[in-house]
A and B are shown apart, each in its own frame.
Chain A
Amino acid sequence: MLILESTLLSKVVEVNNINSGYGKLQIIFDISVELKKGELVTIIGPNGSGKSTLIKTIMGLVPTWSGDVIINEKINISGMKPYEVVTSNIPINYVPQINNVFPTLTVLENLKLGALPRKNIDENILIDDLDRVYNLFPRLNERYEQKAALLSGGERQMLALGRALMANPDILLLDEPTAALAPVLADEIFSKIIELKKLGISIFLVEQRATRALKISDRGYVLVSGQVAYEGAAKDLIGNERIGELYLGKR
């Protein structure tokens, strides 16, 4: 039933047979993944399997060697630079794993920069969006004048998410938002991601905490050395013993 439902939905991100890498080192081998409207899809895999590189390739941070990245079933963004992707009315945004805020800018400046892709927006709309972000992450409101370098790890992740939200995206690519966070903080971030999904945002989530991430997601891909090894509904992947043994760290 679930699978039938998801096939009917439109594909917001479609990655077709993509190859990419750094310099001459190929990391992504012929990967095809897709994200449907309103879905939360998790990409898991062991260290060095190319999860982050896949996300970066979709965004254009890593040059695409071959293959297509199609947004909303019509726009091909492979070969475009990140700022071109963001500024040409393609509702996609990306939160990197580390270095995801501007440390010497204040929280407010960080958030305002997030709204940069939406050219010439009204001041009132900007304030409304700021309020939306502050409602989601009240702690940012308390520290809006502080420099981002002085925020704690959890607050930084919140600011990074908030910055991406300011661009009003329909598609969000999250690269390990809970990396290097204490379990309590990780839970908080996961609950925020669920809230984002409820807002109708389609999310690609790359995670190390595989079981935890699969529990909140609809579907999942398992990457092994740059190729998709398994894919399917999240429940099936959690149940799959081989994946559990090999990649999810169940002991």
Chain B
Amino acid sequence: MIGSLIDNLRKINFHGKKYSPITLSILGLVLGGISLALWFLPTDLRFTFAAFFFNVSILGLILLFLEFLKRERFKNFISNLTSPLIEYYEKKDYKKFALRVLFWLFMIYLVLLTLTLITRINFLQQTVFAIVVAANLIMASVGLTLTTRVRKFSNFAQSEFLIVGIYVSVALGIATTKYLKRNFMFMYNMFSIFELFLIELLLAFIITGLIGVLTEILIFGPLTKREATPLSLMVGSIGLGLIIRQTVQEIYGSVPRTSAPKYPEIFDQIGEGLHEFGQIPVIGWIFNFISMPFAESTKFYFFNVGIIFRISRDETWAIIVCFFTLYMLQYIFTKTTLGVSMRATADDDDLAQITGINTKRVIYWTWFIAAGVTGMAGIYFFEASQIQPGSGFIQLLLIFAVVILGGFDSFEGTVISGFIISFTMTVAVILNSELGRLEKQNELLDKMVFWSTSGDWKLVVAFAIIIVVLIFRPRGIFGLIDPRSKL
């Protein structure tokens, strides 16, 4: 990949002159020097300039490094290292694949670390947050993609499935602490020894999944039988959302609640034990990495400069659960008869019937899986926030943003657009706070611009990006080109 990048750079023509990578790298380093010089200037804008020039210089450094390696005896090594990851993955050469992933992770880490050190904005921390948000968004949206693809309408009750999921967790919390702990101490101990959050996830999956199947049996199935249009089905789903929300409110009231996933006590002990070793400089990182799913919060240090970033247990598990779910879904779609039948039913209902697929059964399974995954998503989606029965509906906009950007009925598109939206939102937050800080430092600027740091620009920027992408790709990033798609 970088090899081809260098080859492209070789071809750069600028006013008739060809610039070799070495010239470009040296140019980058010069700019880096300027950035260091800027560092001592007492201007307000030095941060911005410094950050910009430093980025360019890092790129120059990397290019120089690679060019050096390419010319020397490491030529083979580097060309192997930079060849596309997917090639190795498809060849099932997992050892080399893992090596390359580690290499890229290290490169990304280096860039982020230098950015962090020079700009004082914690890019590493922000990246971790962005990945967690992306994982949550993907989990919350993937169900909508599934049902949209198979049932050909947008389910507005998607966010209510999230609410059902988190309230299953709330109910389980009440049941264990208020009921089991008082009356059946033995059972309570059993619960806390076994991994409680896995039971939570499983229950959320099953209960929300069954609700999904019920909605198809009671609402969408009969509506489709009477030849309802996608629009009327959509309105039906809005009604369904209201019903679910009101039912939850009747049961639990509108008191704000919190429900963090509950972990067995042994996790804390394992985490603390591993953190003891985490103090060791370089090797400590490995222990910290292992302790991520166990300790309540894991901090990563950069020698003794200070904390670089921290990641909590909930966030780690959100990523793990998302990864596992996506892997399972991918497996189901490509390897099992049910999954291929699902895709076939999504493509063409009539043809699927002729082929011998019981489309009704496939649709029930689709609802079960889609709603179940969404219910599971709810537990980690709301783990850090105060929830009310109505708080799911607010997230619906974001879920739809992810799904539309991804192409509405594409599984891969949803995953990629989840990352795009999450990272755009993070960048928007950083820019917003930086601009606000810059304005406060400069009196003149403060008088000229009214920039409020409290403004929530993240959604605005995210949707602006969506509009730009949709102008160039009207069907979303991975939207199907098939003219039969009615969406």
* Residue pair A99, B350 in contact (C-beta under 8 Å): yes
* Residue pair A96, B354 in contact (C-beta under 8 Å): yes
**B418, chain A: closest CB distance, angstroms:** 21
Question: A39-47, A69-77, A101-109, A238-246: which lies at the B interface?
Answer: A101-109
* Residue pair B482, A113 in contact (C-beta under 8 Å): no
* Residue pair A149, B482 in contact (C-beta under 8 Å): yes
Given A61-B350, A96-B350, A149-B481, does the pair A105, B344 have CB atoms closer than 8 Å? Answer: yes
Residues of B within 8 A of A93 (CB): 354
Cα-based distance from A194 to B348 in the complex (angstroms) = 29
Cα-based distance from A105 to B350 in the complex (angstroms) = 16
Instruction: Judge whether A50 is part of the interface by a CB distance below 8 angstroms.
Output: no
Instruction: Judge whether A116 is part of the interface by a CB distance below 8 angstroms.
Output: yes
Give per-residue flags for A39-80: 1 if the beta carbon is below 8 A from chain B beta carbons, else 0.
Answer: 000000000000000000001010000000000000000000
Residues of A within 8 A of B351 (CB): 96, 99-102
* Residue pair A114, B355 in contact (C-beta under 8 Å): yes
**A86, chain B: closest CB distance, angstroms:** 4
**B32, chain A: closest CB distance, angstroms:** 47
CB nearest to B344 among chain A residues? A102
Instruction: Judge whether A117 is part of the interface by a CB distance below 8 angstroms.
Output: yes
Residues of A within 8 A of B341 (CB): 113, 116
What total count of A-B pairs have CB within 8 Å?
Answer: 74
Instruction: Judge whether A221 is part of the interface by a CB distance below 8 angstroms.
Output: no
Given A103-B482, A109-B340, A112-B340, does the pair A61, B347 have CB atoms closer than 8 Å? Answer: no
* Residue pair B353, A104 in contact (C-beta under 8 Å): no
Instruction: Judge whether B356 is part of the interface by a CB distance below 8 angstroms.
Output: yes
Does more than half of chain B's interface fall in helix, strand or loop, or is it mixed? helix
Instruction: Judge whether B358 is part of the interface by a CB distance below 8 angstroms.
Output: yes
* Residue pair B357, A116 in contact (C-beta under 8 Å): yes
Cα-based distance from A59 to B355 in the complex (angstroms) = 11
CB nearest to B347 among chain A residues? A102
**A168, chain B: closest CB distance, angstroms:** 12
Q: Which of B341, B348, B481, B484 gathers the greatest number of chain A CB atoms within 10 Å?
A: B348
Query: Would you mind naming 19 contact pairs between A and B with Cβ atoms under 8 Å apart?
Result: A61-B350, A82-B354, A83-B357, A83-B359, A87-B358, A94-B354, A96-B350, A96-B351, A99-B351, A99-B484, A100-B351, A103-B482, A104-B480, A105-B343, A113-B355, A116-B356, A116-B357, A149-B482, A167-B356
Apart from A94-B354, A116-B356: 12 A-B pairs, beta carbons within 8 A: A86-B354, A96-B351, A96-B354, A99-B351, A100-B351, A103-B347, A103-B484, A105-B340, A113-B340, A113-B355, A167-B355, A167-B356
